[in-house]
Amino acid sequence: MENKQYKILIAEDDLFISEVYFTKLSSENFDVVLVDNGEDALAKFEEVQPDVVLLDILMPRMDGWEVLNKIRQKKQAESAIVIMLTNVGDKDAIDKALKIGADDYLIKSFFTPEEVLIKIRKLLEKKKKNKK
């Protein structure tokens, strides 16, 4: 799958984790943008119009719930894939994210960057097929 045209926004306040994902996804030819708080995530979402958002829940200045909610209210966000990538792993959090409009919910400690990449590719392929 050719990734060059795909933009990924990573909203993660842990610098180590965001750099790991930046390195992995950039090496796969995705165009990756990093932000470390919810307010910047919304601003960059508007500016970059990413195809995929990897969104942490626990972030400064605005949490991932509010970011997800605001993203899903935007018209241009209808086609954006939003994956919650967090360590908040209780069933209520998962149900809430999917109800608000997350496309997937991944617990950081359960998935390697390679497995997250595979999930991203599958969701992009599904989105591509649904457009046809």
pLDDT digits (tens, 9 = 90+) for 64-85: 999 999 999 987 677 899 999 9
Residue 4 has pLDDT above 80, yes or no: no
Q: Would you tell me which CATH number, out of the four given (3.40.50.10540, 3.90.1170.50, 3.40.50.2300, 3.10.560.10), belongs to the domain 7-131?
A: 3.40.50.2300
Residue 132 has pLDDT above 90, yes or no: no
Q: Which of 91-100, 101-110, 121-130 has the lowest mean pLDDT?
A: 121-130
> Token match 């069933």: residue?
91
**What's the pLDDT at 130?**
79
Do the beta carbons of residue 81 and residue 124 sit within 8 Å? yes
Residue 51 has pLDDT above 70, yes or no: yes
Q: What are the residues facing 105 on neighbouring strands?
A: 84
Query: ∠18-22-28 over CA atoms, to 5°?
Result: 150
72-103 residues labelled b (16+ CB within 10 A) or e (exposed): eeeeebeebbbbbbbebeeeebbebbeebebb
Percentages helix, strand, coil for the chain, rounded to the nearest 5? 55, 20, 30
27 C-beta neighbours (distance < 10 Å), count: 11
Average pLDDT score over the chain = 92
How large a percentage of the chain has pLDDT more than 70? Answer: 95
Distances (CA, A) of 121 to 73, 75, 115, 118: 24, 23, 10, 5
Residue 1 has pLDDT above 60, yes or no: no
Using a 10 angstrom Cβ sphere, with 0-12 exposed, 13-18 middle and 19 or more buried, the burial of residue 7 is: middle
Give 13-34 pLDDT, tens digit per residue.
Answer: 999 999 999 999 999 999 999 9
